[in-house]
């Protein structure tokens, strides 16, 4: 058992009757998946129909219905893709034990995705490394392509289709111009051809100075005629190879990347020229709002300041891609105020599936709660109920272009994602992109059942089938416990042991794995230093973003902005994001801020210790390979949690000058040792604990 089968462990040995008149590569996949794995015992008809009900569900939507006598099922859709998604839906219901004889007979499912484009962003470099990747090297073997084709390309497309992901940006946002060279486009074409039948469209990250860097022009000014002609020709070449190419993702004028501002042009001017050349082919531009520079202005405010004035200036095939928080994928951030700022511009959320700031692939952190927290946040843009989900899914503003992105955690490790539980985050992203109202509990339950269900042979006789059924029920109840006690609590545990109460970006500079609140590199960019964010001093701790400080709180709509602005009404889990609060500030628990912080760090550590306990009870139910693997990583996570707690409490204690409350565990490390010690992140060797990856 190496985890490579992901959540796709359908029972083998089925011989189902599937009726389908039309042939096509996509429909053939649907037929073969159902022929191989459908065990429901009743025949299924697949049918493309163009009636009103189905048209309203779009090409990706579908209806699954049992006939009146319950002896027959049909999957209908107005498009082939919807039929394939319907087939996976049915297999998911089967695998998660949701199809009893009676539910099957009255089955009536109607589904339509909440977002049109459900896209993974791979931060993969052309040399095979992955920026912020923790699961091996890139899946794309550029030196072997186009002639050698890894079987994993198709497996990847299938996994995405099974959860409704229909788009992928295969290269890093810090893009090499080379990706647009003729040689690379030939390689990209091969991938596009493999992905196509699964409904997975290819997009590319582009480097804004490609016309100069690759095309040899003297400038990449977006308003220059030759530059425009260069992009036009490039678009033509791409579409001649890949007729359904999706479009470009652009990181411009951010962290040293080139962009239109280099030529005195705006982000809108830069995005629009690309949008214009893609328009005839129905391509789109996803333009990232992740921009900031080391100016006096609070980093958390900068994207809003840059983009809000540009509302209405973008073409209709441009969508602005916004990270969930205003800084950078921290364990907890408030939502980015930019989600509430633009009415005439399509905007999309960007989540990070790879755990850059949540313990890499060493820590178990199920991220559905974090993403739902963002999607369910109310921007109050058009009054109450203007949640981010509604701002971005087209229901609050009628933008026809809707999308949601997740930065992938996939590499060439046999199990794809490094930590066996990191697969759950790939799965959760896909499911939420399809339907943002799904609960985190449901997604966790679905994933666990599909991932840990031992493959059952359909040929087993009745007696064994009964035994199997009983074992399955026991397994499911054990998995529910794992879901509620571990998965659902895991993200909050990370927040507690890393940076509770709104603390943020106190990570070690560079690798972002361990704690380094003391980090202060002379001459380095101040907005990359932890002290810029925590601002601890003898009076208190936290970044004053209220009206007495940077007034980032003022970028939110009323009544949220007043709530955040006031230290007494600001939610405590964001207190130190918006306020420099005094060490003795009274918390709702009755404790002082300092004592509350100590309790939070302690709670985080205890929580992970509990994950270890719960996990050990899974031993009889789980194959030994994955069991040991997870057990090993939980051990690392427990040690890291103690490391975080000790480092932060010992360091901040120097400012608060208050003791750790007597009822809590004592630190086991010396601050001096932790400050001197440099983590060798390439092989995760930590002499403090002696663990290796």
Distance CA(94)–CA(79), nearest Å, equals 23
Return the number of the residue (256 or 522) whose C-beta is nearest ligand BDP: 256
Query: Taking the chain, what is the end-to-end CA distance rounded to the nearest angstrom?
Result: 19
Return the number of the residue (2 or 255) whose C-beta is nearest ligand BDP: 255
**CB 489 to ligand BDP: min, Å:** 25
Phi first, then psi, for residue 277 (nearest 5°) are -75, -25
Q: Is 80 a catalytic residue?
A: no
For residue 132, state whether it binds ligand BDP (rule: CB under 6 A): yes
**CB 417 to ligand BDP: min, Å:** 18
Judge contact between 153 and 410, C-beta under 8 A: no
For residue 293, state whether it binds ligand BDP (rule: CB under 6 A): no
Sole binder of ligand BDP in the list 114, 221, 298, 328 (CB under 6 A): 328
For residue 329, state whether it binds ligand BDP (rule: CB under 6 A): yes
Return the number of the residue (143 or 255) whose C-beta is nearest ligand BDP: 255
For residue 204, count other CB atoms closer than 10 A to its CB: 21
**CB 512 to ligand BDP: min, Å:** 7
| Distance from the Cα of residue 76 to its chain's centroid | 30
**CB 528 to ligand BDP: min, Å:** 10
The C-alpha torsion from 3 through 8 and 12 to 14, rounded to 10°, is 180
Distance CA(278)–CA(248), nearest Å, equals 9
Return the number of the residue (121 or 423) whose C-beta is nearest ligand BDP: 121
Distance CA(604)–CA(679), nearest Å, equals 22
Q: How many residues bind ligand BDP (CB under 6 A)?
A: 10
Q: Which of 319, 254, 338 is nearest to 291 (CA)?
A: 254
387 forms beta bridges with 378
Residue 654 DSSP symbol? H
Return the number of the residue (83 or 173) whose C-beta is nearest ligand BDP: 173
Tokens of 16: 């189902």
Q: Is 441 a catalytic residue?
A: no
Return the number of the residue (299 or 639) whose C-beta is nearest ligand BDP: 299
Distance CA(355)–CA(644), nearest Å, equals 16
For residue 173, state whether it binds ligand BDP (rule: CB under 6 A): yes
515 forms beta bridges with 507
Judge contact between 123 and 73, C-beta under 8 A: no
Sole binder of ligand BDP in the list 174, 219, 382, 480 (CB under 6 A): 174
Tokens of 354: 């790879």
Residue 484 DSSP symbol? I
Judge contact between 605 and 611, C-beta under 8 A: no
Given 60, 221, 333, 356, the catalytic residue: 356
Sole binder of ligand BDP in the list 1, 47, 131, 224 (CB under 6 A): 131
**CB 317 to ligand BDP: min, Å:** 22
Radius of gyration of the CA atoms of the chain, in A: 26
Return the number of the residue (333 or 596) whose C-beta is nearest ligand BDP: 333
| Distance from the Cα of residue 184 to its chain's centroid | 27
**Strand 247-250 relative to strand 201-206: parallel, antiparallel, unpaired?**
parallel
Angle at alpha carbon of residue 95, lines to 92 and 99, rounded to 5°: 85
Distance CA(674)–CA(662), nearest Å, equals 23
Q: Is 356 a catalytic residue?
A: yes
Return the number of the residue (261 or 575) whose C-beta is nearest ligand BDP: 261
Q: Is the bond preceding 146 in cis, omega lying within 30 degrees of 0?
A: yes
Q: Which of 130, 132, 1, 125 is nearest to 415 (CA)?
A: 1
- Within 240-279, the residues that bind ligand BDP by CB under 6 A are 251, 255
**Nearest residue to ligand BDP, by Cβ distance, number only:** 328
109 forms beta bridges with 64
**CB 225 to ligand BDP: min, Å:** 30
Distance CA(546)–CA(115), nearest Å, equals 34
For residue 304, state whether it binds ligand BDP (rule: CB under 6 A): no
Given 255, 471, 537, 623, the catalytic residue: 255
Tokens of 642: 């103690």
**CB 553 to ligand BDP: min, Å:** 23
Sole binder of ligand BDP in the list 290, 421, 611, 651 (CB under 6 A): 290
For residue 308, state whether it binds ligand BDP (rule: CB under 6 A): no
**CB 174 to ligand BDP: min, Å:** 5
Return the number of the residue (74 or 207) whose C-beta is nearest ligand BDP: 207
Given 328, 393, 413, 527, the catalytic residue: 328
For residue 427, state whether it binds ligand BDP (rule: CB under 6 A): no
- Within 347-366, the residues that bind ligand BDP by CB under 6 A are 356
Tokens of 640: 């890291």
Active site amino acids: 255, 328, 356
Q: Which residues of the chain form contacts with ligand BDP (CB under 6 A)?
A: 131-132, 173-174, 251, 255, 290, 328-329, 356
């Amino acid at each position: 058992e190496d985890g490579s089968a992901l959540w796709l462990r359908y029972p083998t040995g089925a011989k189902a009757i599937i009726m389908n008149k039309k042939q096509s590569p996509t429909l053939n996949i649907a037929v073969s998946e159902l022929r191989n794995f459908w065990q429901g015992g009743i025949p299924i008809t697949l049918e493309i129909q163009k009636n009103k009900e189905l048209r309203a569900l779009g090409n990706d939507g579908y209806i699954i219905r049992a006939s009146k006598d319950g002896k027959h099922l049909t999957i209908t859709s107005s498009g082939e893709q919807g039929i394939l998604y319907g087939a996976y839906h049915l297999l998911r219901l089967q695998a998660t034990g949701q199809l009893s004889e009676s539910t099957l007979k009255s089955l009536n499912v109607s589904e339509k995705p909440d977002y049109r484009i459900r896209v993974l962003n791979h931060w993969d470099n052309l040399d095979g490394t992955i920026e912020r990747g923790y699961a091996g090297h890139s899946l794309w073997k550029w030196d072997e392509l186009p002639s050698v084709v890894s079987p994993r390309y198709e497996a990847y497309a299938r996994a995405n289709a099974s959860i409704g992901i229909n788009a992928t940006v295969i290269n890093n946002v810090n893009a090499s111009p080379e990706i647009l060279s003729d040689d690379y486009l030939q390689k990209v074409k091969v991938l596009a051809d493999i992905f196509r039948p699964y409904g997975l469209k290819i997009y590319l990250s582009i480097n804004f100075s490609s016309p100069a860097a690759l095309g040899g022009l003297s400038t990449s000014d977006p308003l220059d005629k030759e530059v425009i002609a260069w992009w036009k020709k490039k678009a033509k070449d791409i579409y001649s190879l890949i007729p359904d190419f999706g479009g470009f993702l652009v990181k411009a004028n951010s962290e040293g990347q080139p962009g239109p501002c280099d030529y005195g042009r705006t982000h809108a001017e830069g995005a629009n020229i690309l949008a214009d050349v893609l328009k005839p082919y129905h391509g789109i531009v996803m333009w990232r709002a992740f921009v900031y520079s080391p100016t006096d202005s609070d980093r958390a405010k900068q994207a809003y300041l840059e983009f809000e004035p540009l509302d209405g200036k973008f073409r209709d095939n441009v969508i602005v891609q916004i990270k969930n928080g205003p800084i950078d994928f921290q364990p907890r951030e408030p939502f980015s105020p930019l989600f509430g700022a633009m009415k005439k511009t399509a905007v999309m959320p960007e989540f990070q599936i790879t755990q850059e700031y949540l313990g890499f692939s060493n820590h178990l952190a199920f991220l559905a709660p974090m993403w739902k927290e963002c999607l369910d946040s109310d921007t109050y843009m058009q009054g109450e109920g203007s949640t981010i989900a509604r701002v971005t899914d087209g229901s609050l503003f009628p933008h026809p272009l809707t999308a949601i992105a997740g930065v992938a955690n996939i590499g060439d490790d046999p199990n794809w994602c490094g930590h066996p539980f990191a697969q759950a985050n790939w799965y959760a992203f896909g499911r939420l992109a399809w339907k943002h109202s799904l609960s985190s509990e449901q997604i966790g339950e679905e994933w666990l059942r599909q991932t840990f269900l031992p493959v059952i042979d359909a040929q087993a006789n009745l007696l064994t089938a009964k035994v199997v059924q009983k074992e399955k029920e026991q397994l499911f109840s054990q998995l529910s416990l794992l879901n509620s006690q571990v998965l659902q609590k895991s993200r909050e545990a990370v927040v507690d042991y890393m940076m509770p109460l709104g603390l943020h970006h106190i990570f070690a500079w560079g690798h972002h794995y361990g704690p380094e609140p003391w980090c202060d590199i002379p001459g380095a960019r101040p907005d990359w230093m932890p002290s810029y964010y925590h601002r601890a001093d003898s009076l208190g701790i936290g970044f004053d973003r209220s009206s007495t400080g940077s007034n980032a709180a003022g970028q939110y709509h009323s009544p949220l902005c007043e709530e955040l602005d006031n230290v007494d009404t600001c939610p405590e889990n964001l207190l130190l994001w918006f306020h420099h609060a005094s060490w003795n500030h009274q918390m709702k628990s009755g404790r002082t801020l300092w004592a509350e912080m100590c309790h939070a760090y302690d709670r985080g550590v205890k929580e992970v210790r509990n994950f270890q306990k719960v996990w050990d009870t899974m031993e009889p139910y789980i194959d030994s390979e994955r069991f040991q693997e997870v057990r090993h990583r939980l051990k690392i996570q427990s040690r890291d949690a103690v490391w975080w707690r000790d480092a932060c409490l010992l360091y901040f204690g120097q400012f608060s000058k208050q003791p750790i409350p007597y009822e809590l565990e004592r630190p086991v490390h010396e601050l001096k040792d932790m400050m001197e010690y440099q983590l060798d992140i390439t092989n995760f060797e930590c002499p403090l604990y002696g663990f290796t990856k």
